[in-house]
Structure 1
Amino acid sequence: MKETDAIDEYILQHIDEESDYLKALYRDTHVKLLRPRMASGHLQGRMLKMFVRMIRPRQVLEIGTYSGYSALCLAEGLEEGAMLHTFEINDEQEDFTRPWLEGSPYADKIKFYIGDALQLLPDMNITFDLAFVDGDKRKYIEYYELVLKMLSPGGYIIADNTLWDGHVLEEPHHTDLQTIGIKKFNDLVATDSRVEKVILPLRDGLTIIRKK
């Protein structure tokens, strides 16, 4: 076993466990879905729940539901009366994801939307306290600018995959629009005086952004 693998295993043994429901969802994701690596997983899931507990948001946004794993972790941390609004652009994902969300202990805290968040959000009169962005990497800057307008002062954005398997260190081919999108997003956020920001090297990189 590599040292990094051993460290990862050590971490998982010394943090809160996943619920049986999340374990079952994670297994089902790997059996039935393409690109199961997109699911948040144990460590990131516990971090998302902890972050929600820490800042106690009333309205939470997620862009990129995928299997619903991260949505359930966010919802798990919500207080009574708080709500998660999660958007999935791929309508083929609905038959898998909706039953897992609606069958969970947190179903009453989750509103699940199928469609493009960039099109649907402007019509929603909601101010969010926290947003988790894990959608199309080519559109991260568009998500960011829209979400920032809808975020409360002192609110947070968590952007996933911002280290992009280390490809952010490379000069991407002009056809690699996802890497280009992530790099442009990182460069924008780094120089944006409207926010405070830090990148955590957790899994594939998480950027924590606080609106001033």
Structure 2
Amino acid sequence: MELIPAAVEAFAEKYTTPEDTVLYKLNRETHLKVELPHMLSGHVQGQFLRMISQMIRPHRILELGTFTGYAAICLAAGLEKDGMLHTIDINEELETLCTQYFEASGYADRIKMHIGKAAEVLTNLDEVFDLVFIDADKAGYVHYYDLVWEKLRPGGIILADNVLYHGQVLQPESEQGGQAKAMVRFCEKVLADDRAEQVLLTIRDGVLMIRKK
């Protein structure tokens, strides 16, 4: 399902601050060489992540799901001078590509990449986070939310990607795939959590923005 008409997306990109050279090259290389390039955050969402981080000025950021590192670079732009971004991905084959672009971005000393299962790595991270971006396996979102919550400072922000899941969440439950059902369960969990307040943003494939009260 086309959630955002191509003409609207093109208009949004036209009036969004352009990608810098590093992000442009990473975007292009991902589409040329990596399977499932649509998983990349891309121009408009990447700039949104960058601006949210710049507004918060976080000391600690957590990203679940690195892919090729585009979102991590965008998020790192808002870090305080002593800040650190921890990003976790299970796909070790993309580590070299990520590291290459982290170096090129100038944020390599502020980005720590972890290879492994998100839940296991997260359990061993002794940090308090100001900003969290969840973009990993959809079936794990509910569990990641619980794991992250105790590590998120009061007033901290969680951004959860793909909550509209290509529009499948709008279909009758009997027609939804497993990933879409997982997104609905996650959204329902957040809605019922009186410790949080949230807004669902219709950027790209849907971003649920959650604030810890």
For the aligned pair, the TM-score class normalised by the smaller chain equals: over 0.9
Aligned residue number for residue 97 of structure 1: 98
Task: Quote the offset at 1:172 in angstroms.
Answer: 4.6
TM-score (norm 2): 0.93
For the residues of structure 2 that align with 1:178 and 1:6, how far apart are their CA atoms?
27
Aligned residue number for residue 58 of structure 1: 59
What's the secondary structure of 2:205's corresponding residue? coil
For the residues of structure 2 that align with 1:80 and 1:97, how far apart are their CA atoms?
21
For the residues of structure 2 that align with 1:58 and 1:97, how far apart are their CA atoms?
21
Q: Render the CA deviation track for 1:74-102: whole Å, top value 9, x for unaligned.
A: 01222211111100112222233222223
User: Which residue identity lines up with residue 111 of structure 1 in the other structure?
Assistant: K
Aligned residue number for residue 28 of structure 1: 29
Aligned residue number for residue 110 of structure 2: 109
Larger deviation, residues 167-176 vs 83-92: 167-176
What's the secondary structure of 1:103's corresponding residue? helix
**Which contiguous aligned blocks of 4+ residues in structure 1 show a shift greater than 3 angstroms?**
171-176
Q: Does 1:132 align with 2:166?
A: no
For the residues of structure 1 that align with 2:80 and 2:58, how far apart are their CA atoms?
8
The 5 A counterparts of 1:45-84 are 45-84=46-85
Larger deviation, residues 11-20 vs 200-209: 11-20
Aligned residue number for residue 177 of structure 2: 176
Q: Render the CA deviation track for 1:8-55: whole Å, top value 9, x for unaligned.
A: 222212221110110000000001111000000000000001001111
Between the two proteins, the alignment pairs up a number of residues equal to 210
Task: Quote the offset at 1:177 in angstroms.
Answer: 2.4
Larger deviation, residues 104-113 vs 133-142: 104-113
Q: Render the CA deviation track for 1:81-135: whole Å, top value 9, x for unaligned.
A: 1111100112222233222223321111111111112001112210001100000
For the residues of structure 1 that align with 2:71 and 2:129, how far apart are their CA atoms?
17
Unaligned runs of 5+ in 1: none
Counterparts in 2 of 1:66 and 1:176: CA distance versus 1, 3 Å: same
Counterparts in 2 of 1:155 and 1:18: CA distance versus 1, 3 Å: same
Aligned residue number for residue 122 of structure 1: 123
For the residues of structure 2 that align with 1:6 and 1:176, how far apart are their CA atoms?
28
TM-score (norm 1): 0.94
